[in-house]
């Protein structure tokens, strides 16, 4: 079945540095990818939607200059947390939708990235 590989699974970085998280669809073309943030014991909050080859659409309240999203190919999207601060520590999850099955709710999720900013 469809697989989304998210890397790294966890990362610790110093305050002020930037961190890049990758999300790859391994056996299908993902025209649309979604980035979520999950706080402990809470739901997933959609941060942005990215379509291949175009700028990401950010949800209200999400800083686009802080959370840079690139979706340069049909199999890869990246989220870069720039100038990270401790309040950015969270669990980040990507999800990809199979572009060849628009009416099939084939959302596939990555296993998530635990970011800790110290």
Partner 1 sequence: GDSVTQMEGPVTLSEEAFLTINCTYTATGYPSLFWYVQYPGEGLQLLLKATKADDKGSNKGFEATYRKETTSFHLEKGSVQVSDSAVYFCVFGYNQGGKLIFGQGTELSVKP
Task: Provide the binding-site residues for partner 1, judged by CB under 8 A.
Answer: 4, 6, 32, 34, 41-44, 46, 49, 93, 95, 97, 103, 105, 107, 109-112
Q: Which is nearer to partner 1, 47 or 84 (CB)?
A: 47
Nearest to 23 by CA among 108, 104, 100, 85: 108
Least distance to partner 1 from the beta carbon of 11, Å? 16
Q: Which is nearer to partner 1, 13 or 46 (CB)?
A: 46
Least distance to partner 1 from the beta carbon of 30, Å? 11
Q: Is 102 helix (H, G, I), strand (E, B) or coil?
A: coil
Q: Is 101 exposed, middle or buried (0-12, 13-18, 19+ CB in 10 A)?
A: exposed
Least distance to partner 1 from the beta carbon of 85, Å? 25
Q: Which is nearer to partner 1, 32 or 116 (CB)?
A: 32
- Is residue 6 within 8 A of residue 22, CB to CB? The reply is yes
Least distance to partner 1 from the beta carbon of 49, Å? 7
Q: Is 17 helix (H, G, I), strand (E, B) or coil?
A: coil
Q: Is 87 helix (H, G, I), strand (E, B) or coil?
A: helix
Q: Which is nearer to partner 1, 64 or 85 (CB)?
A: 64
Q: Dmax over Cα atoms in the chain, in whole Å?
A: 43
């Amino acid at each position: 079945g469809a697989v989304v590989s998210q890397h790294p699974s966890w990362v610790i970085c110093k305050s002020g540095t930037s961190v890049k998280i990758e999300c790859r669809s391994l056996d299908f073309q993902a025209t649309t990818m979604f980035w979520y943030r999950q706080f402990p014991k809470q739901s997933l909050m959609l941060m942005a939607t990215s379509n291949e080859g175009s700028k990401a659409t950010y949800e209200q309240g999400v800083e686009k200059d802080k959370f840079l999203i690139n979706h340069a190919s049909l199999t890869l999207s990246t989220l870069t947390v720039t100038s990270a601060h401790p309040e950015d520590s969270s669990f980040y999850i990507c999800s990809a939708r199979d572009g060849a099955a628009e009416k099939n709710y084939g959302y596939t999720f990555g296993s998530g990235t635990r970011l800790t900013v110290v």
